[in-house]
Chains A and B, each alone.
Chain A
Amino acid sequence: MTLFFLSSGLFLGWSLGANDAANVFGSAVGTRMVSFKRAAIIASIFVILGAVIQGAGATHTLGKLGSVSALGGAFTVALSAAITVYWMTKFKVPVSTSQAIVGAIIGWNFYNGLPTDIHVLSKIVSTWVMGPILGAVFAIILYYIQHIYFKVVGIHLLKQDAYIRFSLLLVGAFGSFSLGANNIANVMGVFVSAAPESYLNFGLFKLSGVQQLFLLGGIAIAVGIFTYSKRVMDTVGGGLMQLSSKSAIITVLSHSLVLFIFSSTSLSNFVQSLGLPPIPLVPVSSSQVIVGSILGLGLLKGGYNINYKILGGISLGWIATPVIAGVFSFFALFFVNNVFLIPVSSENGNNVITNKILKRNKKGIDKDTKSITIPLTDSVNIDSVNSSIDSVSVESNDNHGVAKKYFDKLKIKSDSEDKNISKYFNLAFILAVLAGLIFFIFRWLNSMYKRNKLILSKNAQILDAQKALAEIETKYQLLENQQMEDLLNYKNKELTTMALNLIEKNNFLELLKAKIEEIKLETNDLAIIKKLNNLYLLISQNQNLENDREAFQMHVDELNKDFFYKLNSLYPDLTKNEKRLCVYLRLNMSSKEIAALTNISPKSVEMNRYRLRKKMNLGPDEKLDKVLQNL
């Protein structure tokens, strides 16, 4: 059963690993200086070590804020924080686990009607502010140190790369250790009361009950790193500001230093031994510190490199996280307590809602019995009764007794005032939480509405542009088609002219030859006959129609590639000569012209046409030339 209750803490640990490991290794993995696998292994080992060795300090402070005394309450508080963190991680908002758990603990305090220690709360909240500021300051100092070092030493670029890579691993290990030490309080702090009493002996070292609990939390964080942190690393690595590998070392180191400072008991003791005030050991928001460090670097470089949109998103997460976790915790506790009847506090029943119900019942009983009773559960009334008893008994005592009673009375009065303050604080807190919640829901809805509206209008614009583009494309296509058609007609006309020229030339030469034959018959002069014979031969040689025909047919084939392709696909059985006949018919040439071009008789052309019709399966009403022209 204990393990079941611990499950929510383990889930929170998983969320922390998924989200906060990105703060340590996000830049290194994002800049591809360290592979994710190597980063995950180192982060896991050192987170566990940090949690087990140095996790107690911050846990103690968190326990002061609200000591969740029942396992059911701890389960619900951790679950609320975990769900908040998971939900915000899902939306890729670098969320703070510290703020989630603090919000959830305040929710628990409020539910149980217990006062929230304002001193501790202000200490925690002040570190939320100090964390990023310190991160920025450290980043700036470290930047200058690094800059001077590389300038003075002058290392080869590749050696520098190797050093940076090694440093990233080293700093990452330190960061993971600090993360484990500082943030294990968020994961397992509320379960400390459930820690086993016995020690676990490993031979070389022993683990106390709390350390065993932290070991379990550390393992949960490691699982979170391996299973889910890569997504967030992508966001942190290149989201807020493009980081170089050198800047990555600075940000991670400054982040680690801040976390270490706020979790190291030895450092705090050392500072105290110097006569300085102790360092508060508080779970600091790892995300806030890393953002502070990156901002410090960004501001140092003029601030133009910072992606303020993402920064805004992160800031929204900071405010929303404790508010959401607090409200969620309050309602979850009510649900667990009243529906599952699981005690959420060691003083169960002493919560705001059940108190009111009890009060109402008590009033009803009072009315019935008409007797004067004191509502026991209300602390303020008990105080007033005590004070009235004191005032009566003061008169019957000696001076010493009077003084003692007087001081007791004062003490009770001051306790009563403190409780009143805490009651007002609780009321103010819930009002603030509700107001904040309403404000953020309203803002979220508003931004969603605006975003949807923007998307819709952009879509409409894109659609219009696409329509206009499509129309232009269609017009252009039509124009192109028209041009192509014109070109084709022109080429076809050219072909026809060429063919007719060929035929006419042939006819003319034939006519010349006939005339020469006639002249030869009319004369007996041998010299003239010889000359005429030479002329006849010359004409015959020049006539050489075959070459012209071949050139013409090549021309025809070249220009009618598409037509041949269509013919081939529709009538694959046609021979080459039949295809050529189709082209001539398409050019609207007569049988006689075709006969002259192909050097066959017109009758053969007619016969070929007939065979072509049969091959093409044309009906008696279909005209061959029309069919071919429409093809």
Chain B
Amino acid sequence: MFFKKTKSTIRDIDEFLDTIDQGILVFKEGVKYYLENDEDNFSKNLDKLYKLEAKADTIVLRIRNEFFEHSLIPQYSADVVSLLDHLDDIIDTAKENLFQYDVEVPDIPKKLNSEFSKLTDVSCAAAEAVIPAVRSFFNNPSSVKDNEHRVYFYEKETDVLASDLKRKIFKDTKHLKLSQKIHLRYFTLHIEQISDRAEDAARILSALEIKTKD
């Protein structure tokens, strides 16, 4: 009676975390394909990300319903659901960003490709680090901190890289128009958002870890 529902919810949570993880990988690949002008693969990745995002939304809704309907871990259910919502925000942001690449087609100079690629990698690393932290919260709360500090580290790294890139865009690319520069700056900000969302989720995780500690 108790365990049947629990098992299905655990499965859902695992599936949800897998989906987010895959979404981040697909986003990272998508940006790389864009920078390499590989339109076909970029479109495929965008399509894949759309599907993953929709799947994540469906699962998180199902988990939320299960939590409140069966009053699972009633003392922390609101926080856990909020944590999952924040994780869902990561994939939402990733999808939105890749979609913006598709619609706005930013003209990224070749010499900035490596910077953009690196920024994407580091920002995604923050998001990737939050997934094992969340998994460990459910399985072994005492080890949350081991994974959690990576999120904060990558988030700060992302900020540094983004600042450098912005400086480069405005100072070292004199051949670009101001409108182009502003456009590129916006894309830098968009990529930064992924690590910001990961940091938000990590903050909720920290609070939850303290709350559940006996």
> What is A's interface to B at a CB cutoff of 8 Å?
31-33, 147, 151, 154, 156-159, 161-162, 165-166, 244-247
Contact A159 B214 (CB under 8 A): no
Which residues of the partner chain A approach B71 to less than 8 Å between Cβ atoms?
32-33
**Closest 5 CB pairs between A and B?**
A32-B74, A162-B2, A162-B6, A161-B73, A157-B138
Rounded to whole Å, the gap between the CB of A200 and the closest CB of chain B is 34
Contact B73 A247 (CB under 8 A): no
Binds A, one of B19-27, B87-95, B106-114, B139-147: B139-147
- The answer to whether the Cβ of B43 comes within 8 Å of any Cβ in the partner chain is no
Contact B72 A158 (CB under 8 A): yes
Given A147-B214, A157-B141, A165-B2, answer yes or no on A244-B10 (Cβ-Cβ < 8 Å): no
- The answer to whether the Cβ of B212 comes within 8 Å of any Cβ in the partner chain is yes
Contact B6 A161 (CB under 8 A): yes
Docked Cα-Cα span, A374 to B167, in Å, equals 117
16 contacts between A and B (CB under 8 A): A32-B71, A151-B142, A154-B140, A156-B10, A157-B137, A157-B138, A158-B6, A158-B10, A159-B3, A159-B6, A161-B73, A162-B5, A166-B2, A244-B214, A246-B214, A247-B214
- The answer to whether the Cβ of B75 comes within 8 Å of any Cβ in the partner chain is yes
Which residues of the partner chain B approach A162 to less than 8 Å between Cβ atoms?
2-3, 5-6
Which residues of the partner chain A approach B74 to less than 8 Å between Cβ atoms?
31-33, 245
Chain B residue with Cβ nearest A157: B138
Which residues of the partner chain B approach A159 to less than 8 Å between Cβ atoms?
3, 6, 10
Chain A residue with Cβ nearest B2: A162
Within 8 A of A (CB), among B44-78: 71-75
Chain B residue with Cβ nearest A151: B142
Contact B75 A158 (CB under 8 A): no
Docked Cα-Cα span, A247 to B213, in Å, equals 12
- The answer to whether the Cβ of B9 comes within 8 Å of any Cβ in the partner chain is yes
Chain A residue with Cβ nearest B1: A166
Chain A residue with Cβ nearest B13: A158
Rounded to whole Å, the gap between the CB of A337 and the closest CB of chain B is 53
Contact B72 A161 (CB under 8 A): yes
Docked Cα-Cα span, A31 to B2, in Å, equals 17
- Most A CB contacts (10 A, CB to CB) among B3, B6, B141 go to B6
Rounded to whole Å, the gap between the CB of B52 and the closest CB of chain A is 24
Interface string of B33-48 (1 = CB under 8 A from A): 0000000000000000
How many residues on B have C-beta within 8 angstroms of the other chain's C-beta atoms?
20
Rounded to whole Å, the gap between the CB of A473 and the closest CB of chain B is 37
Given A151-B142, A162-B3, A166-B2, answer yes or no on A157-B73 (Cβ-Cβ < 8 Å): yes
Given A31-B75, A244-B75, answer yes or no on A158-B9 (Cβ-Cβ < 8 Å): yes
Docked Cα-Cα span, A147 to B142, in Å, equals 12
Docked Cα-Cα span, A310 to B167, in Å, equals 61
Contact A245 B75 (CB under 8 A): yes
Rounded to whole Å, the gap between the CB of B22 and the closest CB of chain A is 22
Rounded to whole Å, the gap between the CB of A269 and the closest CB of chain B is 37
- Most B CB contacts (10 A, CB to CB) among A33, A165, A245 go to A165
Contact A158 B214 (CB under 8 A): no
Which residues of the partner chain A approach B9 to less than 8 Å between Cβ atoms?
158
Which residues of the partner chain B approach A33 to less than 8 Å between Cβ atoms?
71, 74
Which residues of the partner chain A approach B75 to less than 8 Å between Cβ atoms?
31-32, 244-245
- Most B CB contacts (10 A, CB to CB) among A151, A156, A157, A161 go to A157
Contact A157 B214 (CB under 8 A): no
Contact B6 A154 (CB under 8 A): no
Given A147-B214, A244-B214, A247-B214, answer yes or no on A158-B73 (Cβ-Cβ < 8 Å): yes
Which residues of the partner chain A approach B140 to less than 8 Å between Cβ atoms?
154
Contact A154 B139 (CB under 8 A): yes
Which residues of the partner chain B approach A244 to less than 8 Å between Cβ atoms?
75, 214
Rounded to whole Å, the gap between the CB of B149 and the closest CB of chain A is 21
Rounded to whole Å, the gap between the CB of B11 and the closest CB of chain A is 10
Which residues of the partner chain B approach A32 to less than 8 Å between Cβ atoms?
71, 74-75
Docked Cα-Cα span, A166 to B4, in Å, equals 13
- Most A CB contacts (10 A, CB to CB) among B13, B139, B214 go to B214
- Using A159-B3, A162-B3 as known contacts, list a sample of 20 further A-B pairs with CB atoms less than 8 Å apart, ordered by residue number in A: A32-B74, A147-B214, A154-B139, A154-B140, A156-B138, A157-B73, A157-B138, A158-B9, A158-B13, A158-B73, A159-B10, A161-B6, A161-B72, A162-B2, A162-B6, A165-B2, A166-B2, A244-B75, A246-B214, A247-B214
Within 8 A of A (CB), among B130-184: 137-142
Rounded to whole Å, the gap between the CB of B14 and the closest CB of chain A is 10
Chain A residue with Cβ nearest B139: A156
Chain B residue with Cβ nearest A163: B2
Rounded to whole Å, the gap between the CB of B129 and the closest CB of chain A is 20
Which residues of the partner chain B approach A247 to less than 8 Å between Cβ atoms?
214
Interface string of B185-214 (1 = CB under 8 A from A): 000000000000000000000000000101
Docked Cα-Cα span, A416 to B176, in Å, equals 116
Rounded to whole Å, the gap between the CB of A255 and the closest CB of chain B is 19
Rounded to whole Å, the gap between the CB of A234 and the closest CB of chain B is 15
Which residues of the partner chain B approach A147 to less than 8 Å between Cβ atoms?
214
Docked Cα-Cα span, A624 to B125, in Å, equals 77
Chain A residue with Cβ nearest B8: A158
Docked Cα-Cα span, A32 to B69, in Å, equals 12
Docked Cα-Cα span, A244 to B73, in Å, equals 10
Chain A residue with Cβ nearest B67: A158
Rounded to whole Å, the gap between the CB of A478 and the closest CB of chain B is 45
- Most B CB contacts (10 A, CB to CB) among A154, A162, A166 go to A162
Rounded to whole Å, the gap between the CB of B214 and the closest CB of chain A is 6
Which residues of the partner chain B approach A165 to less than 8 Å between Cβ atoms?
2
Which residues of the partner chain B approach A31 to less than 8 Å between Cβ atoms?
74-75
Which residues of the partner chain B approach A158 to less than 8 Å between Cβ atoms?
6, 9-10, 13, 72-73, 138
Docked Cα-Cα span, A33 to B77, in Å, equals 12
Rounded to whole Å, the gap between the CB of A318 and the closest CB of chain B is 29
Chain B residue with Cβ nearest A246: B214
Docked Cα-Cα span, A156 to B212, in Å, equals 13
Chain A residue with Cβ nearest B138: A157
Docked Cα-Cα span, A33 to B72, in Å, equals 8
Rounded to whole Å, the gap between the CB of B48 and the closest CB of chain A is 29
Docked Cα-Cα span, A154 to B139, in Å, equals 6
Chain B residue with Cβ nearest A166: B2
Docked Cα-Cα span, A154 to B137, in Å, equals 11
Docked Cα-Cα span, A279 to B137, in Å, equals 45
Docked Cα-Cα span, A159 to B138, in Å, equals 9
Interface string of B87-124 (1 = CB under 8 A from A): 00000000000000000000000000000000000000
Rounded to whole Å, the gap between the CB of A614 and the closest CB of chain B is 64
Chain A residue with Cβ nearest B135: A156
Chain A residue with Cβ nearest B211: A244
Contact B212 A157 (CB under 8 A): yes
Which residues of the partner chain A approach B137 to less than 8 Å between Cβ atoms?
157
Which residues of the partner chain B approach A166 to less than 8 Å between Cβ atoms?
2
Chain A residue with Cβ nearest B6: A162
Rounded to whole Å, the gap between the CB of A476 and the closest CB of chain B is 39
Docked Cα-Cα span, A31 to B75, in Å, equals 7
Which residues of the partner chain A approach B139 to less than 8 Å between Cβ atoms?
154, 156-157
Which residues of the partner chain A approach B212 to less than 8 Å between Cβ atoms?
157
Which residues of the partner chain B approach A246 to less than 8 Å between Cβ atoms?
214
Chain B residue with Cβ nearest A155: B139
Rounded to whole Å, the gap between the CB of A252 and the closest CB of chain B is 16
Rounded to whole Å, the gap between the CB of A251 and the closest CB of chain B is 13
Which residues of the partner chain B approach A245 to less than 8 Å between Cβ atoms?
74-75
Docked Cα-Cα span, A616 to B142, in Å, equals 81
Docked Cα-Cα span, A44 to B42, in Å, equals 65
